[in-house]
Every structure is written in structure tokens, then in C-alpha cells.
Structure 1
Amino acid sequence: MKLGVIQAKTRWNLAPWSKEDEQQARQLSELLGVPHLVAKLLVQRGYKEKESAENFLRGGEDRLHDPYLLKGMKEAVARIQQAAVNGEFIRIYGDYDADGVSSTSLLIHVFRELGYTFDYYIPHRALEGYGLNKGAIDLAAADGVRLIVTVDTGISAYEQVEYAKQLGIDIVVTDHHEPPDQLPDAVAVVNPKQGDCPYPFKGLAGVGVAFKLAHALMERPPMEWADIVCLGTIADIMPLTDENRVLVRAGLARLQNTGNTGFRALSEACGIELDQVTSTTVAFGMAPRINAAGRLDHAKRAVELLTTGDYDEAIRAASSLDVLNKERQRIVDGIVKEAEQQWQGKREAAKAAAIPEPPVIVLAGEGWNVGVIGIVASKILERYYKPVIILGIDADSGMCKGSARSIEGYDLHAALTECDHLLDHYGGHQAAAGMSLHRDHLQAFEEKLGELALEWLTEQDWIPKTAIDLVCSVEDASVHTIGQLAQLEPFGAGNPSPRLLLHSAELSDYRTMGKDSRHLKLSLRSGRTALDAVGFGMGELSQRLQSGLPVDLVGELSINEWNGQRKAQLHIHDLYFGGAGARFPEREHFGQVYQLLKRKQRLPMKGIEQYLSEQCGWPEQTVTVMLEVFLELGFIAVDGTHFIVVEAPQKRDLGTSERYQEAKREAERLRSPYVPIEVMA
């Protein structure tokens, strides 16, 4: 068996925790009747007072804000109601992603309920691109549309709104994206992110803004469609706090017993158990299928699914989305494989030229589907933790359309701004962006991005980080406490599933499990309390573990149900195991070695580390530190070629030794992959 250090894969960032935080958590635990760990997490996430914590845990529809606090809402409602009174033809204009589909579907239900004359339009991703376009406005004019209501788009459509006005079409913009300097001169612009908008919550999804419009039009919050709002909010990775938390919780509850024919058909087509639906189910089960329509075909398929009352039609739509999603996965896998080969070629070329490999991954290929390149970029980033740009090349025109994903510290939007002279178009933010350029500029583009990475990023920035909420003990991880953690759900952006650190947990046993022993199962113990921990895909680490030694684990707590039994379990994200060599001896261990020296009184310096190591079980390098501490404190001395024990030495505490303090700090630094933070600062 080969024992040794298991280094963590990431840098662990443990959030600070103070005595004041601890005091607030204890008070909150008593006032709310929740376990201490739950109260600590509430405090950690900013809910330190009883009222704010109760609102977070139990707040419902009464926590929704007045829709008329949104700038432009009054004008939007007046124009839509005027159109209804005059019998004008209204067109809902949405986006082709899951948020846009949800927004469009929501307003379809609302406008049907209100008896409006309307239809909807979503542009084709490949043929028309994102947002309002003049061709679509021409079609609206030809169809007799007098009012367009945008959802999840339109905030940057200044020119298009001007063009629509020339054709006699009014536009109401509802959107949630970052507003540009020049807003469209529409009848109304409703977006909580407008600089002078007093709305108290800026994190609404496009479907959230559409919901507020529906609330104003119906003079009540239309919670019967919270399931649709839930889908778009989760899919667009909006923060699950404030109103979003209320809407998503209500939506998940509604999904568990939904009357929406489309959701029932979708769950049947892709094997989702609606009575057990969670935010994770929506994010990784429903949203990709809704998105697949806009990526590979047309988003109207997904809208039809969410708005039909005919179950046969819904099953056909759901089945087609499931097929499209499988095709999307196949296409993504193919592009990832080609991209991997291209990247390995670049690495090998750099190695042959004796130069560093490119700091930014820029990969381009003819025929790569631009509808999925963002997914490909995310997968490549996950593997290599470098900024990634994936571009599809049009073979005829030579134009490249790209999607980028970044790491912390590398601002994509700022980087693209520096490359403005090479690009036709670009947009986005720090972590994700899109751009277009000619293939002739690709090499210069890659070189400039690389130069900026070397200029902006430090050595530490190239190591992925793991954010940790709290230190947790084995005793904290009871079935009852884990069950109470469910009060913090739904988890997602802005309210992640609690990630906890078990520091120096005793490893009582370990084994592999699953096919080919791919997975790792650990048994942790503290006194009489035990906890299982499971690391999927970590089976090979078992060869370097040893029972009875401490291990540091980062992961999420869950309850494992098997054969009618419910047991607490930690799902391991990352671990550190230092083996025996990473332990720092306690005072009694120093005492044991000193007693070994006293028995001999005089020992040759040559070979003493090996001798004492064999006697006490500590590694030779640790024994060397002990001897250096004893010398500094005057417990032993050197006599030529021998160590001798000093008779009646002055009594001094180990803590007064500078070498002891230095060695202890160094051992702690090496023992764990996070910078130590005082738990009770």
C-alpha cells in the first residue's frame, strides 16, 4: 500500500466567522427553534435578525413588491389596456432561451385570461440572431400589429424601436439585462436595472419582470403560473433571494402537483418525478430541454409545450424536445472532442517550441454549431480552468461567431474591449461573453487575449477556488439537522447549497465501491458519533489513505435512504489527507521523545533521527524539529558528536520556543489547502 499526501484540487476559501456571528447564531437558533448549524448558515448569508431570517425561511406571497415601483410600469399598463379597449393587435416578442420562452409563455396565459387580441414571435437563433430585428418588425407591420410587448429582450434596441415607430407600431419593452447608455425611446421601458428605477430588487429574470407586468395588469400576483416563473428564473441563473426565492418556492410547490399540461408531459417524456422536483431538477432536467428548442430548431416548440391544454399535443412537443436535447448532447460531445484535439495540438506545439502554452484557450472550427458553443466553452473551462473562447467559422464568409467563459480575475468584457479593433461585434460581462470577427484576425485575437491574461492574473488566479460556508463537526451532521437544512431551499445562484468543511475529522475506515471501484466511501468518527462520506470518482485515492489519521473534507450534507434506513452522509467535493507526516505533534508527543532521550542521557548525533523515529513512530523530519526545539529551550546540548541531556534544565513552556511556533505554523499551512482563518476571530 502506497501512503502519501492527497493534495486538494482547489484553493479552499473559508468565509470569516466572528464571536459576534456566533452569538447571533445562538440567539437565532433559540428564537426560531432551528438547529445551531442552520442558524449559523442564516447569519453567514446575511439574515442575522429574527425578522429577516423568518422572512427568508417562511416568507410568501406577502413579500412580493408593488409592481408599480418599477419605473415605466404605469405607462406600460396604460398602453396595453388601451390596446385591449381598442381591439388592437398585440404581439409578444420574446427571446429563444429558457427565460425568454418562459416569459413569452407566461404572457400568453395572461393575455388569454384577459381576452386580448394577440400572438407571439420569437426570432430564429441562427437566421435572425438575438433581439428585435427590422425584418421581424416588417412582418409585424404586414400582419397589422399595432403594439409589440417585448419580454427578456429589447433594452438595447434603440434603432429597432425608432424603425417600428416609423411603421406606426408602439413598443413596450420589458427586460432585465444591463441597460446601455442610450435606452430605446419606447412607449414604456420596464427594467429594474435602469439607473433611476426605485424598484428594491434588481435580480429579477426576464420572466420575473413579465410576472410583475402580469401582476399590474391583473391587479393580483398570478401565482397560478409560478411554475413557469420558476423555470425561467432558475434557467437564467438568477439569484434565489428576495422575490425570486418566493416565486421559485411557490413554483416548485406548484410543479409537484401542477395543472400545466406541458410540464406533466415534459416530466413523462424525460423521466422527471414531479412530486420530488427541486431547483436542481429544473436546472438540469427541464431547462436544457426547453433551451434545446432554440439552440437546434425553433423556440416556438417549447412555447407550444408550455401553453397548450391538449395532452397529446404536449406529449408530442415534449418528446421532440427530449430528442432535440439528446441531439444537442451529441453535437456538444462531438465539438468538445474536436476542441480537445485542437487544444492538445497547441500544447504540443508550444512544448516543441520550448515556450509556455497559451494562457487563454481560443479554439475555432468550421461547422461548429453556434447554438451550443457556449456549453462547449463551459466544459473546456471546467477541465483546464483557463479563459476559453470557442468559435464557429462560416466556411463561405470566413466570419467567426464565438462564445466565451472566464475564470475569476479575468474580465472578458474588458478583454474584448481591448481587442475592439479586431472584432466586428462583442458583448457580455466578466464571466461570459460573445463576439464575432473574421478568421484572419484569430491569431492576433488569441495573442492579445493571452498578453492580457499574463498582465492581469497572478499565480494564484490559475488555481480554482472552492468557497466554504462554515466549519462543521461530525456531531453537527445529524439526520435531524440535515433535514432542517431543507428550510434554506431552494438552492441555486445567490443561495448555494451549504458547502461545509470537516477539519481534521478522524478517518476510522475507508473502502471503494461501485463498478471498477470508481467511488470512495469513508467512515468518519468523533467520539461515539459516526458519519459516512462519499466521493464519486475518487476511488483511486483509497491507496493513499490510512485509518486513524485526520482528514480534511469539503462537501455537502445529505440524507442517504437505503432499505428503510436514513443515515447522514457527506457528498465530498474535495479532500486533503496529509498522512502521518503532516500531523504536528502535541505536547505529550514532545514529552515522549524527551523521555527517550533522558533514558539514554547521551546519544550520537549521527543516525539519531532514524533511531528516535523508529522508537516513537514520528517521521524523521518531525523528530529533527523536536530536537531543534529542545536545543533552543536548553533541554539538550551538543557535545562534539553527541546530544546530551542537560541536568536540571530551567523549566520553560514549549510555546516560548520560536522554532516550535514556526514549525507549528508551517505544519498548519501544509496540512490544509485553505489559508487558516480563526473560527472565533
Structure 2
Amino acid sequence: MAEEVWMLQTKKADFKQIGARFRIDPVTARIIRNRGIEGEAAIDRYLNGTLDDLYDPMLLKDMERAVSILCEAVDTGKKIRIVGDYDIDGVCSTYILLQAFERLGSDVDFEIPDRIKDGYGINESIIEQAHADGVEVILTCDNGISAFHQVELAKKYGMTVVITDHHEVPLDGEKEKIPPADAVIDPKQADCPYPFPEICGAVVAYKLVQVLYARRGVPQMEWLDLLEFAAIATVGDVMKLQDENRILVKYGLKKMAQTKNIGLRRLAEKNNLDLGAITAYHIGFVIGPCLNAGGRLKTAKEALALLRAQSEEEAERLAEELKELNDTRKDMTEQGTEAAKLQVESWYQKDKVLVVFLPECHESLAGIIAGRLREYYQKPAIVLTRGEEAVKGSGRSIDEYHMFKKLTEVSDLLLKFGGHPLAAGLSLEEKNIDEFRRRLNENAGLTEEDFKAKVWIDVPMPVGYVTERLVRELSCLEPFGQGNEKPLFAEKSLRIRASRVLGRNRNVVKMTLEETDGHAIEALYFGDGTAFEEERAGRREIDVVYYPDINEYNGRKTLQAVIRRYKFRG
């Protein structure tokens, strides 16, 4: 388990003045500043932004060209094929575009690559099949920006190609290598004037539909009906909940509460979720994994079929199947994670970059297991599995280690690789695994300080400052997630007046904490209760990192602190 360092946010501003101007507590003002929000206009947009504050889709490069091509294809009855991807963003993008083109009366169908057979994105066999099927227009979503040769092949066959994507543009030297498509919409293009490039593929698709519907006179309400799917993809694809992403998710979650989608309703019911109280957390850790499970263990077409289900019976069957697939995926992930940890503890404890080979592990789980290792050890982790033709791997990194650049340094050992600073995918021959591990560790450039997990505290705040009004006010900062994390507060030297471990698995500690002035508050810690009690061993004082909450039970409301981190004193 990685050592932790508690760090205090130190961004400066006149928090009293901001609080008075926006009628919020100075503590809330400080949290907003900690999230990088500066200036009255930005603060106002953060607190009060609406769908009217979303950016103009026409700012996306090639939007006009794409809309003209697609409108002409609809008018002339050309056969359009949407090519998506197998993860939640790809599924939601495909759903949004399919619904839209069917609404416009198009001759449209879709294809989603198989994770194991096809790999990521559009490939030559998908192009060949489209040609054989008489497809005239290919429209990609959540992929295509790196499909240079595949687009060349489609053009050779005389097909029109429109790319919508959000991934980084590949470079040829220092120059961008854009596929020779008829239109390319991707906010990451260097000359794209769109003000916020950190949107997911489904939001790019959603923006395209906004313009198509406006051109065709489709009521705006029908475009807004697709908002929840752009929101689900934004959270599920772990985009930063900043700027317009936060607005999209905020209003998308509200739309979900009254969703007309039978499949979503059934999936929520299967997971005991109340759509009226849905949060970004539920999307990220419940709904999202279920929609992703199809693409991981079977086919992503099941998740798409669920979203497009027309009857209660079909929705019931598919929701049940996706939940079961996700439960299986969770069990497989737990087993794989334990096996990976055992390898690390046995052989690689001193390694700075963890490279673990799990031959029998399902390759779709390698990235999740790598993420678990990264989190547990606070080290870059790569999990390798045995594929059909070679060893395949997926890596997750820490801020101090640029994984893609480091893989570039050992590219002579790799058959294929790609990725970002914090995540990567790769393949290599099995005989090269040991050399791959050795060289990555030799050139890691990491120190022991880099392996300490940083816990960022927003405000050192006595629990006595917490009021019901402040807790209610903090909800205006939602939705919480990547880039807009739930606020964390801290206080030192609290006395533990009483504590007891609850739950069948002893995974909840309930305690009463007391400040030096005698003020007390109820507190909960969700974790290993037995380890908590053993660590405490008679010690009476504790430092805590917490989030304030209101416990409502039998009509009675009490303030409580939910403890996220703790350190005993003495």
C-alpha cells in the first residue's frame, strides 16, 4: 500500500468578497477557486451556467462541410453506415447518431468493432464489408482520427467519409497527420477554434445532431432528449467535469430523472438505483460499467440494443444480461487484481514500474487491473495478457511518469503501441517481456517521493464550523467527478469519544469525534473496521480528512462527517 501525503490547496483570492458577491459561504468560494475557477464571469458560469452557455457547434472545424455532406446524403437516399466503438462513449455516440439519422428518414445502419477480433476503431475489414454492402457514406464516431490508411481505402472505393472523434491527432514528425476524409470534426485538431477541446466523442456527435436538427427544422426538444446520453458518455469516458462538460452532465442527470428510455430505466432498476436521485458517481461506478461490460466480455452491440429497446420485455432481458456480465467482470477483475498483487509482492516490490504478466486474464480487464495496481502502489503499472497472436498489454500511470514517451524509448521491443501520458495499450512477443520490464525500470527516472499518494485538502476546517446550510450549499458544486472532485476538509487532534464497528463484513466504523472545546459530531468511516480498531489500539486522538453530510433517519436530521482518510496520534 502506497504511503500518503496530505497536501493543502493554497490558491489565493478574496474569498469573503466572492462569498458576498455570490451569496455563498467563503468556504464554498475557496473550493471554487481551488477548482481553477477565476473571475466573476467564470464563477457565475460555474454556479449558474445553463444549456444556453454551451459553445456554438459551428465553432468545430469542418462542421459546415460535414452537415452539407450528410444533408445531401439524406436527401438523395444514400446508404449511410455509422461506425462506432466498443466502450461507453462509442456506444452512446452510435446511439445518438442512429436516433438522429433515423429521425431524418435516412437509409442508415451501424457497425461496432469487436474488442478482441477487430481491436480499436475502424479497420480494413469494416471498410471492405461496407463496400460489399453498397455503403456510400461512412460516418465514424469516437474513432477515425488515426485511421489514415483505412480512410484511403474507403476513398479508393469511392465512398464519402465523415469523421467525428475527440482523440489526439497523430503526428508525422511535428505535423498533424489527418486522414483524407471528406470532413473531419475533432476539437483536438490544432487549427480547430472550438474553445473547449476536452469533450468526449458522444458530445461531438451531439453537437453534429444539434446542427442537423436545426437545418431540418426538427424541434429543439428532440435534440434535448438525447442530452442524457452525451452526459452518460462524458462521465463514463472519465472526461474532466469542467467548463461545458459540467453543464452537460448537470442537466443530463436532470433529464435522466424523467428518461423516456426503457432500457436505461430497466438497467437502473436492476441496480437498485433511483433515477430521481442519480449522480455522476452512479454513472461512473454502476451504469457505466454495465454498459461497458458488453464490449468487454461479449459485444458492445448488446449495450446499444438495450438503449434502443422498444419493449419492456426486451429491455428487461438485456438489462439483466448486462448486469450479469458486469457482475462476472467484477469477479474476474478481483481475481486478476489479487493474482497481480501476489506477483508484485513476491517478485517486483522494488520495481519502480510494475510489469505483470497474467497469461489467462481476459485482455479486456488488463487496463482495469493496471489501474488498481497503480492506485494501490502509486506506481506506473502495465498488465500483460496472452492474446491470439502476441502478448497484449494495457498500462495506467502516475502524473510523474509519461507512459507514452517511456514506451517510445523501448519501441524496438514492441509490435504496436499507442496512448497518452497516463494510459497506454501495447503488444509484444512473449520472449521480450523480461527485457521490456528491465529496460522500463532502468530508465524510469522516478524517486521514492513520486510513489507517495497525494491527498489534496481544500480547507482545514473544524467540524464545529459545519452547518446544515453549508452542507446544502456544497451541493451547488455538483456534479462531482474528474476535475471537479468532491471537496475535502481536514482537522487535527480530534478526540474519539466512542467508536464501534458495524456491518456483516465489519466495513463501517461509527464514531463520535470531539474538538478541544467539547463540540462533538457523529462520524462514519467506510473501510476495514478490524484494521481501524487494531491501529487505534487505545489511542484516543485522530487527524481526519472528511466530507460533511446530513444523515436523515426517521424524519430526524443530524450532521455527520464522512471520513475519507485518517491518522492516529500518539
Choose from 132, 152, 166 the match for 1:162. 152
> Which residue does the alignment assign to 1:225?
226
Structure 1 440/63 Cα, relative in aligned 2: closer, same or farther at 3 Å? same
Name the amino acid aligned to 1:401.
K
Instruction: List per-residue Cα deviations over 1:15-50 (Å, max 9, x = no partner).
Output: 1144xx2xx221222222222322221222233444
Aligned partners of 2:345 and 2:18: how far apart in 1? 53
User: Matches of residues 341-380 of structure 1 in structure 2 within 5 Å?
Assistant: 341-347=342-348, 357-380=350-373
> Which residue does the alignment assign to 2:46?
56
**Secondary structure of the equivalent of 2:158?**
coil
Q: Percent identity?
A: 37
Aligned partners of 1:412 and 1:260: how far apart in 2? 40
Could you tell me whether the CA contact under 8 Å between 1:9 and 1:574 is conserved in 2? no
User: Matches of residues 222-621 of structure 1 in structure 2 within 5 Å?
Assistant: 222-347=223-348, 357-394=350-387, 397=389, 399-453=390-444, 456-515=445-504, 518-526=507-515, 527=517, 529-539=519-529, 540-542=531-533, 545=536, 551-579=542-570
**Secondary structure of the equivalent of 1:371?**
helix
Q: Which runs of 5+ in 2 are unaligned?
A: 172-176, 215-219
> Which residue does the alignment assign to 2:180?
185
Deviation at 1:545, TM superposition (A): 4.8
Instruction: List per-residue Cα deviations over 1:437-475 (Å, max 9, x = no partner).
Output: 00011110000111122xx11221111111222222213
Segments of 4+ in structure 1 off by > 6 A? Answer: 546-549
The reply on whether 1:214 has 2:209 as its aligned counterpart is yes
**Secondary structure of the equivalent of 2:465?**
coil
Deviation at 1:141, TM superposition (A): 0.9
Structure 1 86/419 Cα, relative in aligned 2: closer, same or farther at 3 Å? same
Choose from 197, 203, 212 the match for 1:202. 197
The reply on whether 1:173 has 2:173 as its aligned counterpart is no
> Which residue does the alignment assign to 1:13?
7
Structure 1 37/547 Cα, relative in aligned 2: closer, same or farther at 3 Å? farther
Structure 1 316/544 Cα, relative in aligned 2: closer, same or farther at 3 Å? closer
Deviation at 1:69, TM superposition (A): 0.5
Could you tell me whether the CA contact under 8 Å between 2:35 and 2:483 is conserved in 1? no
Q: Give the structure with higher Rg (CA).
A: 1
Aligned partners of 2:308 and 2:273: how far apart in 1? 19
Deviation at 1:564, TM superposition (A): 2.3
**Secondary structure of the equivalent of 1:41?**
helix
The reply on whether 1:135 has 2:136 as its aligned counterpart is no
Structure 1 337/93 Cα, relative in aligned 2: closer, same or farther at 3 Å? same
Name the amino acid aligned to 1:499.
L
**Secondary structure of the equivalent of 1:173?**
strand
> Which residue does the alignment assign to 2:217?
none
**Secondary structure of the equivalent of 1:372?**
helix
Aligned partners of 1:329 and 1:47: how far apart in 2? 37
Question: After alignment, is 99-108 or 467-476 more displaced?
Answer: 467-476
Structure 1 553/213 Cα, relative in aligned 2: closer, same or farther at 3 Å? same
Deviation at 1:364, TM superposition (A): 1.5
> Which residue does the alignment assign to 1:115?
105
Aligned partners of 1:57 and 1:70: how far apart in 2? 26
Aligned partners of 1:548 and 1:233: how far apart in 2? 44
**Secondary structure of the equivalent of 1:424?**
strand
User: Matches of residues 28-177 of structure 1 in structure 2 within 5 Å?
Assistant: 28-177=18-167
Aligned partners of 1:369 and 1:162: how far apart in 2? 33
Name the amino acid aligned to 1:105.
Y
Structure 1 225/533 Cα, relative in aligned 2: closer, same or farther at 3 Å? same
Structure 1 476/8 Cα, relative in aligned 2: closer, same or farther at 3 Å? farther
Aligned partners of 2:212 and 2:16: how far apart in 1? 45
Deviation at 1:299, TM superposition (A): 0.7
Aligned partners of 1:108 and 1:8: how far apart in 2? 46
Deviation at 1:546, TM superposition (A): 9.1
Could you tell me whether the CA contact under 8 Å between 1:223 and 1:250 is conserved in 2? no
Instruction: List per-residue Cα deviations over 1:490-544 (Å, max 9, x = no partner).
Output: 0111111112222344544444333475533332334464322222225343456
Could you tell me whether the CA contact under 8 Å between 2:11 and 2:33 is conserved in 1? no
**Secondary structure of the equivalent of 2:344?**
helix
Aligned partners of 2:285 and 2:424: how far apart in 1? 22
Structure 1 268/544 Cα, relative in aligned 2: closer, same or farther at 3 Å? closer
Name the amino acid aligned to 1:46.
G
Question: After alignment, is 65-74 or 323-332 more displaced?
Answer: 323-332
Question: After alignment, is 456-465 or 471-480 more displaced?
Answer: 471-480
Aligned partners of 2:238 and 2:449: how far apart in 1? 27
**Secondary structure of the equivalent of 1:231?**
helix
Instruction: List per-residue Cα deviations over 1:340-390 (Å, max 9, x = no partner).
Output: 34334325xxxxxxxx73332212133321111111112222332222111
User: Matches of residues 638-653 of structure 1 in structure 2 within 5 Å?
Assistant: none
Name the amino acid aligned to 2:502.
M
Aligned partners of 2:314 and 2:428: how far apart in 1? 42
Could you tell me whether the CA contact under 8 Å between 1:474 and 1:505 is conserved in 2? no
Deviation at 1:241, TM superposition (A): 1.5
Aligned partners of 1:545 and 1:317: how far apart in 2? 47
Aligned partners of 1:371 and 1:515: how far apart in 2? 32
Aligned partners of 1:384 and 1:546: how far apart in 2? 26
Q: Which runs of 5+ in 1 are unaligned?
A: 1-6, 348-355, 580-681
Aligned partners of 2:41 and 2:358: how far apart in 1? 55
Deviation at 1:51, TM superposition (A): 3.2
Aligned partners of 2:39 and 2:373: how far apart in 1? 42
Could you tell me whether the CA contact under 8 Å between 1:389 and 1:403 is conserved in 2? yes
Deviation at 1:557, TM superposition (A): 2.3
Aligned partners of 1:369 and 1:545: how far apart in 2? 40
> Which residue does the alignment assign to 2:174?
none
Name the amino acid aligned to 1:337.
E
Structure 1 329/46 Cα, relative in aligned 2: closer, same or farther at 3 Å? closer
Aligned partners of 2:102 and 2:465: how far apart in 1? 51
Name the amino acid aligned to 1:202.
P
Could you tell me whether the CA contact under 8 Å between 2:2 and 2:377 is conserved in 1? no
Question: After alignment, is 534-543 or 144-153 more displaced?
Answer: 534-543
Name the amino acid aligned to 1:201.
F
Aligned length in residues: 557
Aligned partners of 1:279 and 1:238: how far apart in 2? 12
**Secondary structure of the equivalent of 1:237?**
coil
Aligned partners of 1:337 and 1:506: how far apart in 2? 36
**Secondary structure of the equivalent of 2:463?**
coil
Aligned partners of 2:131 and 2:2: how far apart in 1? 60
Deviation at 1:289, TM superposition (A): 0.6
Name the amino acid aligned to 1:206.
G
Q: What is the Cα-based RMSD across aligned positions, in Å? A: 2.1
**Secondary structure of the equivalent of 1:475?**
helix
**Secondary structure of the equivalent of 1:535?**
strand
Q: Which has the higher contact order (CA 8 A, sep 6+)?
A: 1
Structure 1 516/366 Cα, relative in aligned 2: closer, same or farther at 3 Å? closer
Aligned partners of 2:32 and 2:346: how far apart in 1? 48
Aligned partners of 1:462 and 1:301: how far apart in 2? 40
Deviation at 1:155, TM superposition (A): 0.5
Name the amino acid aligned to 2:199.
L
Taking structure 1 as the reference length, what is the TM-score of the superposition?
A: 0.78
Structure 1 17/124 Cα, relative in aligned 2: closer, same or farther at 3 Å? closer
